[in-house]
Amino acid sequence: MNVFKLAVASSATVCLASEQASSVNPIRKVVTMLQSMQKKVEAEGEKEKELFDKFMCYCKNSGGELAKSIDDNEDKVSTLPSEVEEAEGALSQAKEDLKTAQVDRSAAKAAMSEATAIREKEAAAFAKESGDLKTNIAAVGKAVAALEKGQAGAFLQTEAASVLKALVENNEKLVDADREDLTSFLSGGSGYAPASGAITGILKQMSDTMTATLADVTATEDDAIATYDALMKAKTAEVQALTERIEEKTKRIGDIGVKIVGLKQDLSDAEESLLEDKKFLAELEAGCATKEKEWAEICRLRSEELLALADTIKMLNDDDALELFKKTLPGSASFMQIEESTSAVSSRALSVLQQAKAGRKGDRQRLDVIMLAIRGKKVDFGKVITMVDDMVALLKEEQLDDDHKKEYCEGQFDLADDKKKALTRTEGKLTASIEDAKESIAALADEIKALGVAIKDLDKMVAEATANRKEENSDFKTEYASNSAAKELLGFAKNRLNKFYNPKLYKPEAAVMVQVHAHDAPPPPPEAPGAYQKKSEDGGSVINMIDTLIAELDKELTESETEEKLAQEEYEELMADSTKKRSADSKSLTDKATLKAETEDELVKLSDEHKATVKELMATEEYISQLHAECDWLIQYFDVRKEARTGEIDSLGKAKAVLSGADFSALVQTKAAHFLHRA
């Protein structure tokens, strides 16, 4: 009877309910129940053995994976700090190299600007000096040519004579005697004797000296230009090389910065994973060891229970025992039907959690902890329900964190994308503005060059027109003087004829005019010897011819005066128009040069702003890349994770409902005790 009580106690999960009396021996029902219990215990043992084997396989595999993960993370934790330090050193060196390249490029550009300024001053000085020398050489050449042709008087009336006179007065290298001779000659003095050739010799010597000086300054200018071109070529190549180096260093700094961010993130992840893996491995090893001990105890108890059931069945199924019970237990006994046991409730809860675990991707350890608690020998459903509630709260907290993180990521992506679009638009506008500025500078340079050529051509035309006007005026004066002298001479001739043929028309004062202009007209004919027969008819014809010639001279004088007046008016109008045009062109040249300088300054500002914008755009793209690294996985799997958590929470709720409905242990114990008492 004690063995029977032990068997009933070991199956304390049975509940009893009254049933109809039966003609079958009640002990047969008891034996049948015991045999059913025996099969159920064996079946549960096989099922639990399968679960235990799977659990131990999980312990073995998970432990190996965790150990490998720990080894990998330990390697990372030991090596990544040195890689970060090395990368930071490389970043620092790259920044120093960039700064050095920038300083060197600025120095090269400053040297180019300084050399250009010096070259412009040298070129201006050369232009002035060479221009003066060429002008003086040309003046000396004209003087020598005029002297050699015997046209000294005509030369002294030219502009070249004025230039030569100024040259003689300001030439400190001339000896005083030569200067006096040249000054006397250029002043129209009578002390110069063309046959002597002294003035010509002095002028040729001056020309040779100035020609040699011009050759020297020209050679010096050519050397300076060659030196400047070589310097500019070398500095331009240096600036280009430094610019390429700056661009390379800038890109390298960005790449190293990204690398450092990645290395630090890897180190942080490795450290975090290492701690979590070690903690979970310790928990896993402890849980697996505990489970092995529990399993050994379960196997021992199950063996004892099966032995008790077998002994009880043998004891009750004996013919003598059956006969005895027929006598002592006539009729039927009232038994309770078996209701759902605690293990069944545990099995149902485990089944729900097992399904949740199978459908969950990722972290399933927390479900394992709850399942381990349910599978425990002395399961406390209250504690398990608390664990379930805690896990549900944790899942909801994790989901809330994911919601916040997703909101943050989407907000940051929107802000970063908007900033990138704005910077891209700004960069495009700056690029277009830079191209426009470059085109404007090139166009202004062409216009400035064209204006310079136009002003130079205008000055040349004015100089030529002035020279032509002077020459025309000189020709006019010469022609006017010649015509006037011819007219006076014809008048004298006519008066002289009248004295002979028409004494009444004779004018004695005309002789004075002859004396005044005696150097221009031939002397009067000598008196004819002896008496002469007047040829009045012929004399009248001559006088008429003289009157005709005088009339033609008067006409020519009038026409030449008119032409001279018109030519002078046209020249003055041309000079006024040229002066006005030159003033306008000079102002336009100054304005365009100023505008070109302003545009070049604006181009520098635009270039700097463009570089800053590109740099900021690159930083924004780098930040977007980091955001992708941080957020893409969450956004991609957000719905999946949320659905998985919802399913897990639902499964935990179902498991909690199953466990909450199993609070009937008191009823089982009470009815079992009542049954044992009756037995």
pLDDT of 177 > 90? The answer is: no
Lowest mean pLDDT among 496-505, 566-575, 649-658: 496-505
Q: What percent of the chain has pLDDT over 90?
A: 21
Structural domain includes residue 649 = no
Domain span at residue 136? 24-315
pLDDT digits (tens, 9 = 90+) for 340-381: 456 666 676 767 666 666 655 545 555 666 666 666 555 566
Phi, psi of 216 (to 5 degrees): -65, -50
Query: Which CATH number covers residue 391?
Result: 1.10.287
Closest to 17 in 3D by CA, of 480, 459, 602, 671: 671
Higher pLDDT, 1 or 498: 498
Q: What is the pLDDT of residues 101-134, one digit of tens each?
A: 889 999 999 999 999 999 999 999 989 888 988 8
Confidence tier at 280 by pLDDT (50, 70, 90): confident
Tell me which H or E stretch contains 543: helix 536-660
- Residues 284, 144 within the same domain: yes
pTM of the predicted structure, to 2 decimals: 0.36
> What's the alpha-carbon Rg for the chain, to the nearest Å?
64
Q: Do residue 423 and residue 553 come from a single domain?
A: yes
**447-464 tens-digit pLDDT:** 999 989 999 899 998 999
Q: How many domains does the chain contain in total?
A: 3
Residue 465 resides in a domain: yes
d(CA 607, CA 445): 20
Q: How many CB atoms lie within 10 A of CB 606?
A: 22
- Please give the Cα distance from 373 to 379 (Å, whole number): 7
Does 195 lie in the same domain as 72? yes
List CB contacts of 217: < 8 A, sequence separation 6 or more: 126, 129, 130, 133
pLDDT at 545: 76
Helix (H) or strand (E) holding 221: helix 198-316
Q: 403-450 pLDDT, tens per residue? A: 888 888 888 889 889 989 999 999 999 999 999 999 999 999 999 999
In a domain, 150, yes or no: yes
Token pair 């004399």 is at which residue? 539
253 & 365 share domain = no
Tell me the pLDDT band of 628, cut-offs 50, 70 and 90. very high
Residue 1 confidence class, pLDDT cut points 50, 70, 90: very low
Establish if 389 belongs to a structural domain.
yes
Q: In this structure, are 353 and 431 located in the same domain?
A: no
Residue 512 lies in a domain: yes
In a domain, 351, yes or no: yes
**pLDDT surpassing 60 at residue 521:** no
Which residues neighbour 615 within 8 Å (Cβ) at sequence distance 6 or greater? 250
Give, in degrees to the nearest 5, the angle at Cα 192 between 188 and 193.
Answer: 135
User: Is residue 596 situated within a structural domain?
Assistant: yes
Residue with the bigger pLDDT between 58 and 570: it is 570
Per-residue pLDDT tens over the stretch 228-255: 999 999 999 999 999 999 999 888 888 8
Read off the amino acid at residue 9: A
Residue 260's nearest CA partner among 88, 98, 79, 81 is 88
Indicate whether 108 and 240 sit together in one domain. yes
Q: Tell me the pLDDT band of 326, cut-offs 50, 70 and 90.
A: low
Question: Residue 677: inside a domain, yes or no?
Answer: no
- Indicate whether 297 and 353 sit together in one domain: no
Instruction: Indicate whether 488 and 452 sit together in one domain.
Output: yes
pLDDT value at 12 more than 50: no
Judgement on whether residues 158 and 33 belong to the same structural domain of the protein:
yes
pLDDT of 21 higher than 80: no
Between CA 351 and CA 163 the distance in angstroms is: 122
Distance (Å) of CA 387 to CA 32, 291, 401, 653: 39, 19, 21, 12
Alpha carbon separation from 516 to 138, 489, 523 (Å, rounded): 38, 11, 12
Residue ranges of the alpha helices (H) in 502-535? Answer: 510-516
Residues 246 and 362 in one domain: no
- Let me know: does 521 contact 488? Beta carbons within 8 Å: yes
581 and 509 assigned to the same domain = yes
Structure-block tokens of residue 635:
């956004």
Pick the more confident residue, 177 or 100: 100
What span, in angstroms and rounded, lies between the C-alpha atoms of 16 and 14?
7
- Would you say 510 and 491 are in contact if contact means Cβ atoms under 8 Å apart? yes
Q: Are residues 121 and 268 in the same domain?
A: yes
* Average pLDDT over the chain, rounded to an integer: 78
